[in-house]
Amino acid sequence: MGKIIFVIGGARSGKSAYAMSRADKASEGKSFIATAEPFDNEMKERIKKHRNDRGSDWQTIEEPLDIVGALSRNRNTKGPVILDCLTLWLSNIMRHRTDTKTSFKELIEELGRNRSADLFIVSNEVGMGIVPENRLARQFRDMAGMLNQRVAAAADEVVLVAAGIPIKIKG
């Protein structure tokens, strides 16, 4: 049975590279659920680079909002799945004004389902910095912290990545 591996750390800390290196050991059936939206040229270039870096042996599902649906639509049921990135998904939810409480509940329920392969969930740790100066940024930080706590509680393994170094903190 597959495990849920929660990979958390700061921006550009090596979280995605760590998840990819662990999942890349599978010979086939690897899936990547990408939550980034190409809303400007810089983001379009980032998405293109990441897509090219993954290569053709990965099935990529680009889904900024319905990650529960993306998990259930995934055709590769035997290989590992990377969901990258939970905090980008949360910012998409907030920007599109979708009901986050329902989304959180659905996500946690989906994580509780039996899996035949490992699921890697990548997220940013946003609570280690200064208190944001505006209300929306504080709301995002608080919601991301709550979401990260819930996912960490549901995960079999939690790995903090700092400066490219993985530190196992659960499992």
Question: Which distant-in-sequence residues (6+ apart) come within 8 Å of 20 by Cβ?
Answer: 54, 82
CA distance 118 to 76: 12
In this structure, how many other beta carbons lie within 10 angstroms of the beta carbon of residue 81?
24
50 is catalytic: yes
| Catalytic residue chosen out of the listed positions 17, 26, 47, 50 | 50
Nearest residue to 32 (alpha-carbon basis) of 1, 2, 57: 57
The residues annotated as belonging to the active site are: 50
